[in-house]
Structure 1
Amino acid sequence: MNQSPFRNQVAVVTGAGVGIGFEIARQLALQGACVVLNDIDESLANTAAATINAAGGVCMAMHGDAADVVFIQTMVAAAVKRYGAITIAVANAGITLFGDFLSYEPAALQRVMNVNLSGSFFLAQAAAKQMAEQQSGGSILFMSSVTGHQAHQQLTAYGMTKAALEMLAKSLVVELSPFKISVNAIAPGATVTERTSADVAYDATWSRITPMGRPATVADIAHAALFLVSPLSRHITGQSLVVDGGWTSVSPSPY
């Protein structure tokens, strides 16, 4: 662990009680970073942090709404107070509200926009302000999706927000490169998580239509995430990395 590129790094990961976010937080912590793990569910946040600490990592739980600007600012301040800095911010929190375009409700659209876009935007802002003050650079990572690249049935609003996150990563190159802050995005494809595992046909369906023969695991996505927030990718910024086993190259519908 002492030789890890994440030694002396401090990371904030939102929406990390389970799934991809948890695996990113776990891998960062076990490779030497001090991690602030956020989830809106207090029980999930506490359990996830305790699991990481029990495995030898350093992790603090912070439950709260990652779309709430005041909470975001509080979380970043807490990370700095506890660990002295913030060097990595992973805006993983997001929600999926399926719905037909012609009947999609304003309240549903606003919630998807608030969590997926506004929460990511203001986490990046709060983290970047702190990183700029520290004058030591840093890394910001957004969680996009293949639905930001290819149309999915009943995911118009969700896909729109994910495409916007990739443009946000590109736009922030102009704003944040002078502070040596890299900004990138990952676009996961179908991934086996606690949520998707509830669908008994999920693995078989996506194994059939994914060129690599299986959906991603959370580890697949986390490995890509850790690369993009590590010193190994310091000259990569404004980019979006699709991690989907080749699905976007052929894009067959799961329906």
Structure 2
Amino acid sequence: MSANPIFQGQVAIVTGAGQGIGYEICRQLVQQGAQVLLNDVDAALAQQAAHNIDSTGKVCIGIGGNVAEIAFIQQLVQTAVDRFGRLDIAIGNAGITLFGDFFTYPETDFYKVLQVNLGGNFFLAQAAAKQMKQQGGGGAILFTSSVTGHQAHKHLAVYGMTKAALEMLAKSLVVELSAFGININAIAPGATLTERTTSEADYEKIWSRLTPMGRPATTADIAHAALFLVSPHAKHITGQSLVIDGGWTSVSPSPYDE
């Protein structure tokens, strides 16, 4: 733990955190003094991830469940309060990507992506904000958007649409939440090295060539930005979206052109 942990005494929920960006956010939050409820749709993965961060089970707890289910989101917030006494930070990182050609994209995939990416984040923000409002003292909410919400990407129309919508949701909720001291923002990661992406052939090589900074992001790069936006240092920042992509959206070359 840091000598001067900036999240000491704070409680956070992070969804979609069994691995990748969400996991690293949880790890850094715990290092900085927070108590964390780590969620993933895969219960075994969530529990193992939490154990890897905190083998004592006192400051990081893994909870399996699907954020597409509103009842589960409400349970998640209640569990945070029951176990840790309050809720200060909610990070909606859970999301799914279902690639598909626009002309043949199936209805089932369309609504599944919306239910997780939009419903899961909207109702997490709603449940978390209700708790923050009730307990007083403000709070911080953060959504994980994507550069695909800024630049078109082949076969990702639905995914990109949901990510752009999350950024508008963060902006819209400024009107609802500011009076209660709750700030709300979004991060938009670009190409990032995770367990999933590194399993793709030549992913790092391709995105190192396409990214002006010469490499894709690490999960730590994204987590550092996320922690800043939910920290006391960013309390006057709200309704904003921060792109973390090594400059890719400035030039936007497509991997499909390779």
Q: TM-score, normalised by structure 1?
A: 0.98
Inter-partner Cα distance in structure 1 for 2:111 and 2:36? 30
Give the structure 2 partner of residue 89 of structure 1.
90
The CA deviation string for residues 103-153 of structure 1, in whole angstroms up to 9 with x for no partner, is 000000000000000000000000000000011100000000000000000
Give the structure 2 partner of residue 212 of structure 1.
213
Give the structure 2 partner of residue 247 of structure 1.
248
Inter-partner Cα distance in structure 1 for 2:106 and 2:123? 25
Structure 2: where are the runs of 5+ without partners?
Answer: none
Give the structure 1 partner of residue 27 of structure 2.
26
Give the structure 2 partner of residue 79 of structure 1.
80
Report the identity percentage.
65
Inter-partner Cα distance in structure 2 for 1:76 and 1:245? 34
Inter-partner Cα distance in structure 1 for 2:19 and 2:60? 14
Inter-partner Cα distance in structure 2 for 1:143 and 1:86? 19
Structure 1: where are the runs of 5+ without partners?
Answer: none
2:46–2:62 Cα contact (<8 Å) kept:
yes
Offset at residue 55 of structure 1 (A):
8.8
Inter-partner Cα distance in structure 1 for 2:113 and 2:166? 13
1:70-219 matches, within 5 Å, as 70-219=71-220
2:38–2:46 Cα contact (<8 Å) kept:
yes
Inter-partner Cα distance in structure 1 for 2:25 and 2:68? 20
1:30–1:57 Cα contact (<8 Å) kept:
no
Offset at residue 5 of structure 1 (A):
1.3
Offset at residue 4 of structure 1 (A):
1.3
Offset at residue 54 of structure 1 (A):
3.1
Give the structure 2 partner of residue 48 of structure 1.
49
Inter-partner Cα distance in structure 2 for 1:14 and 1:3? 26
Inter-partner Cα distance in structure 2 for 1:29 and 1:254? 36
Inter-partner Cα distance in structure 1 for 2:45 and 2:242? 28
Offset at residue 67 of structure 1 (A):
1.3
Offset at residue 200 of structure 1 (A):
2.3
Offset at residue 30 of structure 1 (A):
1.3
The CA deviation string for residues 56-76 of structure 1, in whole angstroms up to 9 with x for no partner, is 971011100011100000010
1:30–1:56 Cα contact (<8 Å) kept:
no
2:51–2:57 Cα contact (<8 Å) kept:
no
Secondary structure at 1:140's aligned position in 2? strand
Inter-partner Cα distance in structure 1 for 2:70 and 2:22? 20
Secondary structure at 1:54's aligned position in 2? coil
Offset at residue 3 of structure 1 (A):
2.1
1:2-41 matches, within 5 Å, as 3-41=4-42
1:2–1:32 Cα contact (<8 Å) kept:
no
Amino acid at match of 1:251: S
Gap change, CA 1:133 and 1:113, over 3 Å in 2: same
Inter-partner Cα distance in structure 1 for 2:149 and 2:224? 21
Gap change, CA 1:56 and 1:123, over 3 Å in 2: closer
Amino acid at match of 1:232: H
1:7–1:33 Cα contact (<8 Å) kept:
yes
Q: TM-score, normalised by structure 2?
A: 0.97
Secondary structure at 2:152's aligned position in 1? coil
How many residue pairs get aligned? The number is 255
